[in-house]
């Protein structure tokens, strides 16, 4: 799919769709997610925000099929994740990139080795892998760091390596799980700028999980607000910031203005 095709919005089929999704753990009556329905359009940067315990971590584990819903349907690229075999799930996950709050890098591998890791699980030749890794490191501004190890990098550099690794399999969707919460404000702005550039240049659909309203304001097109497992508000970022009505939204907006 071309970058232009990925950026088609409006009447295009959603890349991500949750329909009446609930999640309970074990025999507990506590509900981590309660009847959540939302959709993410191709080429969109979609924010999912909520405080601790809102259900964000559960939602992202459903999106990459590490968990299955207790009720409802989770679809990526029109495919119901619950109906896939283990082999089909492995194939689908190549189309879903993931970056993490704690970077998730392998300390024993160089920067290039970390980025190459997903490619080693494909049938790409060593020559093709090396070329792809070099191109990705150049794209994220780390070409000269290929032979360094994670311990030799700053937090922002580690996250850029994580982004390059997530892009290695040319995903349709990039999931960002609190990807900037461990970074200082200046580095956060730099990483968010990189994500915005990748969205525009590649037509990459990004789902960004965060508890920071400033992150949403900086980079997202639309946002959904979670509160105690329920989707309480969703809309264009400008509309939510101007007239967000739910108490959970107002609390986060008030904290932003402090």
Return the closest-CA partner of residue 121 out of 158, 65, 168: 168
CA distance 25 to 122: 34
pLDDT, tens digit, 9 for 90 and up, residues 116-133: 999 998 888 999 999 999
- Residue 128 φ then ψ, to 5°: -65, -40
Cβ atoms < 10 Å from Cβ of 151: 8
User: Which CATH architecture is the domain 1-95+171-179+200-258 placed in?
Assistant: 3-Layer(aba) Sandwich (3.40)
CA distance 219 to 23: 28
Ordered by start, the domain boundaries in the chain are 1-95+171-179+200-258, 97-170
Residue 182: C-alpha distances to residues 7, 177, 254 (Å):
30, 11, 22
For residue 8, name the pLDDT band (cuts at 50, 70, 90).
very low
- Residue 27 φ then ψ, to 5°: -90, 10
Torsion of CA 88, 9, 222, 224, to 10 degrees: -40
Q: Is the pLDDT of residue 19 over 90?
A: yes
Return the closest-CA partner of residue 62 out of 24, 119, 99: 24
Query: Taking all residues of the chain, what is their mean pLDDT, rounded to a whole number?
Result: 89
Q: Is the pLDDT of residue 77 over 70?
A: yes
- Please give the average per-residue pLDDT across 66-77, as a whole number: 92
Q: Percentage of the chain surpassing pLDDT 70? A: 94
The model carries a pTM of 0.90
Q: Is the pLDDT of residue 226 over 90?
A: yes
């Amino acid at each position: 799919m071309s970058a232009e095709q990925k950026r088609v919005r409006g009447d295009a089929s959603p890349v991500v769709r949750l329909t009446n999704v609930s999640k309970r753990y074990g025999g507990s009556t506590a509900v981590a997610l309660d009847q959540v329905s939302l959709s993410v359009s191709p080429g969109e940067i979609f924010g999912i925000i909520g405080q601790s315990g809102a259900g964000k971590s559960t939602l992202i584990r459903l999106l990459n099929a590490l968990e299955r819903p207790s009720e409802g349907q989770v679809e990526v690229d029109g495919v119901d994740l619950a109906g896939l075999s283990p082999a089909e799930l492995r194939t689908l996950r190549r189309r879903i990139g993931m970056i993490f709050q704690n970077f998730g890098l392998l300390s024993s591998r160089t920067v290039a080795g970390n980025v190459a890791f997903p490619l080693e699980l494909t049938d790409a030749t060593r020559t093709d892998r090396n070329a792809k890794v070099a191109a990705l490191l150049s794209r994220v501004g780390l070409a000269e760091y290929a032979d360094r190890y994670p311990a030799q990098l700053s937090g922002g550099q580690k996250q850029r390596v994580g982004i390059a690794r997530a892009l290695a399999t040319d995903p349709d969707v990039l999931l960002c799980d609190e990807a900037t919460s461990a970074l200082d404000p200046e580095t956060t702005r730099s990483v968010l700028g990189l994500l915005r550039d990748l969205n525009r240049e590649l037509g990459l659909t990004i789902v960004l999980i965060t508890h920071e309203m400033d992150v949403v304001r900086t980079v997202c097109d639309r946002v959904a607000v979670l509160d105690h497992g329920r989707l309480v508000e969703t809309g264009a970022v400008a509309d939510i910031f101007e007239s967000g009505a739910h108490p959970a939204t107002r609390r986060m907006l008030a904290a932003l203005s402090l």
